[in-house]
Amino acid sequence: MHIQKILIRIFIVLFFSYACIWQPTIIVYPIVTAVGLIQYPFFYIYSLAIQPLVDGVHSCKTHKEYHRILQANYDERSRLLKELIDARGKLAYYQDLQNAGITYTTNTVCIAQIVYKQLRQDNSFFIIDKGSADGVTPDMVAVLNNLLLGRVTQVYRSYAQVMPLHNPQCHVPIVCAESHARGVFRGCQADDSIGQLDFISHLEQLIKDELVITSGDGLMFPQGLAVGRIKKFTLNELGFLYDVDIEPLFDIEKISYCSVISKNTQQALHKKVSS
């Protein structure tokens, strides 16, 4: 009996030795199966009770992260859209200035847009979108490059009123470019004329179509701005002075922008250069 137990033990040892060396799955499979059976209840409980909680927490974090990313993207999009609108607005503005032929010079106070025009013969004016906040003051001059458009008469914080050349109250000291005759331009609007020249002596040798420019006399108008061209001239009834009609160099109806300059600014610049 004792020998039988020994033989059984030897057989078991040999069987396991053979199984471990030549057929390890015979030993491993039952063990893995047993372990799986033991773990299954725990995995089942975890999948029913714990995993939903973990997924919920992860989902909550994920939603917050997505919300943060979406908010960041929205803020970035809003910023880029604002920059794009600003850039396109500036591009359109400078294209308008280029189309209008406006350049910014050292004596330019600002460049303004003409936002309203009233061009009646008895009371003509136009409104620009620059005012005292932009450095505009009364008696400054509105120009289109070197063409004189008018004089600033009333200034408010964000806009100003300009009296155009053809306004009857507009008086500008002038000189004729070729004959060098001096006089005063007086505004009026009739028969394609924006004004007349007063105080031109019959001794002057006026030339038809010659350019009339500002003389710089007085306190308001800088020197060298074009006022118009001589359309026609005749002696008055007394025969001592000329009646001179001035032809415009621009159509105020088609002008949308202008530069605002100051004679004081121009004089200060000339003094600075000369010194």
**Tens of pLDDT, residues 154-189:** 999 999 999 999 898 999 999 999 999 999 999 987
Is residue 115 included in any domain, yes or no?
A: yes
User: For residue 42, what pLDDT is reported?
Assistant: 66
* pLDDT tier at 71, thresholds 50, 70, 90: confident
Is residue 156 included in any domain, yes or no?
A: yes
User: For residue 275, what pLDDT is reported?
Assistant: 38
Q: Tell me whether strands 182-190 and 108-119 are parallel, antiparallel or unpaired.
A: unpaired
Domain that holds residue 183: 108-263
pLDDT at 7 exceeding the cut of 70:
no
Average pLDDT (89-106) is: 64
CATH number at 200 reads: 2.40.10.340
Is residue 188 included in any domain, yes or no?
A: yes
Q: Give me 153's structure tokens.
A: 């008469």
Rounded to whole angstroms, what are the CA distances from 26 to 8, 32, 70?
19, 11, 57
Is residue 38 included in any domain, yes or no?
A: no
Q: Which of 87-91, 116-120, 177-181 has the highest mean pLDDT?
A: 177-181
Neighbours of 134 (CB within 10 A): 18
Phi, psi of 208 (to 5 degrees): -65, 140
User: For residue 22, what pLDDT is reported?
Assistant: 58
Is residue 66 included in any domain, yes or no?
A: no
Q: Give me 239's structure tokens.
A: 């025969």
Is residue 100 included in any domain, yes or no?
A: no
Is residue 239 included in any domain, yes or no?
A: yes
Q: Give me 132's structure tokens.
A: 């005292």
Q: In whole angstroms, what is the distance from residue 32 CA to residue 207 CA?
A: 119
Is residue 31 included in any domain, yes or no?
A: no
pLDDT at 267 exceeding the cut of 50:
no
pLDDT at 21 exceeding the cut of 80:
no
Share of the chain above pLDDT 70, in %: 67
* Closest among 148, 115, 149, 150 to 129, alpha carbons compared: 115
- What is the domain count for the chain? 1
pLDDT at 246 exceeding the cut of 90:
yes
The residue that leads in pLDDT, 172 or 39, is 172
The residue that leads in pLDDT, 78 or 249, is 249
